[in-house]
Chain A
């Protein structure tokens, strides 16, 4: 069965620090997709990134970067020079393809608090 583990339940750092959110996944599929979503205090889910299993290149988007390592089944997310607006719950998710639909298996989420 597919599984996603975010072992860090809560992280608290001071503004401008770098912070890494860990994500470890389990799947028997040879082709799969991983996602990160952000849930700010307002409650909506905001898509951040999608990564397929064929592409192991790291990705950078402004202060955000993602490190995908198939050898360790990890897809970690780093925020550089964190800001108060980065405070949110972050979810890692794995796509499970079933009967024409893509179901998402979510990790438990990491609550990130950036203190001024």
Chain B
């Protein structure tokens, strides 16, 4: 009964380093999403995948890439981390168009 699992939970990067945030869901959901949460700004959508094999940009895609590896997994990559990407990142999934989103526990990323 894991739901949406994100790894890692915490990460510190130096400016210019790269890393990949992993997300997996075991609910057989079609759609998956990556959001970032910054103080005073709520959550903002970075990228989403409506179904396996498709990905699209959200509100704040610059500096990120994504891969929908299969129906279960959706990864977020930072190719060259910048301090502005310091944030808490949430992965989410949805089953149908009218159901709620299920969120992972979040990844707290600090870029120094």
Chain A interfacial positions (CB closer than 8 Å to B):
4, 6, 9, 33, 35, 37, 43-45, 47, 50, 52, 91, 93, 97-104, 106-109
B31 at the interface (CB under 8 A from A): yes
* A108 to B44 Cα, complex, angstroms: 10
Q: Which residues of A contact B40 (CB under 8 A)?
A: 9, 108-109
Other-chain contact of A102, B41, B54, B101, B103 (Cβ < 8 Å): B101
B interface residue count range (under 10 / 10 to 19 / 20 to 34 / 35 or more): 20 to 34
Beyond A43-B105, A45-B103, is A103–B42 a contact (Cβ under 8 Å)? no
Q: Which residues of B contact A102 (CB under 8 A)?
A: 31, 94, 97-98, 101
Beyond A52-B98, A108-B40, is A44–B103 a contact (Cβ under 8 Å)? yes
Closest B residue by C-beta to A97: B97
Closest Cβ of chain B to A84, distance in Å, is 22
- Are B33 and A103 in touch, CB under 8 angstroms? yes
- Are B94 and A47 in touch, CB under 8 angstroms? no
24 contacts across the A-B interface (CB closer than 8 A) = A4-B42, A6-B42, A9-B40, A33-B98, A43-B105, A44-B105, A45-B90, A47-B100, A50-B98, A99-B54, A99-B56, A100-B50, A101-B33, A101-B48, A102-B97, A102-B98, A102-B101, A103-B33, A103-B45, A104-B43, A104-B92, A106-B44, A108-B42, A109-B42
- Are A101 and B105 in touch, CB under 8 angstroms? no
Beyond A33-B98, A43-B88, A109-B42, is A103–B48 a contact (Cβ under 8 Å)? yes
In terms of DSSP, what is the predominant structure of the interface of chain A? strand
- Are A99 and B50 in touch, CB under 8 angstroms? yes
Given A45-B103, A102-B31, A106-B43, 17 more A-B residue pairs with CB atoms under 8 Å apart are: A4-B42, A35-B101, A43-B88, A43-B105, A44-B105, A45-B90, A45-B106, A100-B30, A101-B50, A101-B94, A102-B98, A103-B33, A103-B58, A104-B43, A104-B92, A108-B41, A108-B42
